[in-house]
Amino acid sequence: MKDLYKKHEERFGKVTSRIYSACINLGVLNLHSFVYNDIKKRITPSSKAILDIGFGNGLILWRLAKDMKKRGIDLYGIDPSPEMLKIANERMAKNKYNVNLKLGSSRIIPFKQKFDIIYTSLSYHHWEKRESAVPYILSKLNRNGSFIIYEYDKDARTRFNLMHGHMISEEDFDSLSFKGFKKIIKKSQHIIIVEFKKLENLQTKNKKPLININKKIKNQKTK
Ligand SMILES: C[S@@+](CC[C@H](N)C(=O)[O-])C[C@H]1O[C@@H](n2cnc3c(N)ncnc32)[C@H](O)[C@@H]1O
């Protein structure tokens, strides 16, 4: 089986996936509840499909599955870890939830359709090559769609400070701005929420690949 992780990304193998899955309820329950509630608030009558990138043991999708079934919204998830896929599939099967889970990564989204909401929780800090992954993900959004990143905020002084390597700072997003998308950064307690929202008026004409605006400006300066 092809290894979907990049060289320096932390692998969630058989043991780490089971340990993460067993301990997760204690450590990140608040963040999961926050993500779950925030995604529910973002749903509009036109929402049809939601994608979770790096779903881990699938807890957030599992919570969403119950509500989304009633609303006719399809749920999708990708993760590079075969073990996480197995754990999440087992979880969904117990409740007979129909969630489309596949192996994939921030660089490989193996679904044909586009999404109204794409989110990633506590996974972005693991990714390599974020500058190319983000525009790739944005290209998978429907009209008015949003890509939302949820992480622990490195700039907040909390009891989680020991986990600094697993946190993200606002300045990590300075270099990420894309034509046709609005970047919105919010903070709530110790969580940082970064949204890239597709702007309606630009998206139909804009068939060209997404340009990282900051990179373009930098290149112009060096000419
Ligand atoms: C700390 S877990 C978080 C799981 C879950 N989203 C949560 O909030 O509990 C990180 C997950 O991201 C996945 N991951 C790591 N690198 C990734 C990448 N480049 N693209 C997508 N997922 C990745 C890992 O396999 C793992 O399941």
Could you report the per-residue pLDDT of 179-197, keeping only the tens digit for each?
999 999 999 988 999 999 9
Helices 14-27 and 82-94, interaxial angle, to 10°?
Answer: 50
Report the top-level CATH class of 14-222: alpha beta
Is the pLDDT assigned to residue 215 strictly greater than 70?
no
Cα(17) to centroid(ligand 1), Å:
10
Q: Give the mutation target among 91, 123, 193 for probing the ligand 1 site: most ligand atoms within 8 A of CB.
A: 123
Cα(198) to centroid(ligand 1), Å:
24
Model confidence at 1, pLDDT cuts 50, 70, 90, reads low
> Which residue in 98, 40, 35 sits closest to 67, CA to CA?
40
d(C-alpha 184, C-alpha 173), whole Å:
10
* Choice between 221 and 126, residue whose per-residue pLDDT is larger: 126
Is the pLDDT assigned to residue 202 strictly greater than 50?
yes
Report the SS3 class of residue 141: strand
* Pick from 9-18, 102-111, 147-156, 179-188: least confident: 9-18
Q: Which atom of ligand 1 is nearest to the CA of 120?
A: 6
* Pick from 80-84, 166-170, 197-201, 214-218: least confident: 214-218
Taking all residues of the chain, what is their mean pLDDT, rounded to a whole number?
87
CB 138 within 8 A of CB 197: no
pLDDT for res 216: 61
pLDDT for res 8: 81
Instruction: Provide the edge-to-edge strand list for the sheet that holds 191-198.
Output: 100-103, 74-79, 49-53, 115-121, 141-152, 191-198, 181-188
Predicted model pTM? 0.89
d(C-alpha 187, C-alpha 203), whole Å:
27
Is the pLDDT assigned to residue 160 strictly greater than 80?
no
Cα(126) to centroid(ligand 1), Å:
7
Helices 59-71 and 82-94, interaxial angle, to 10°?
Answer: 40
Strands 181-188 and 100-103: unpaired
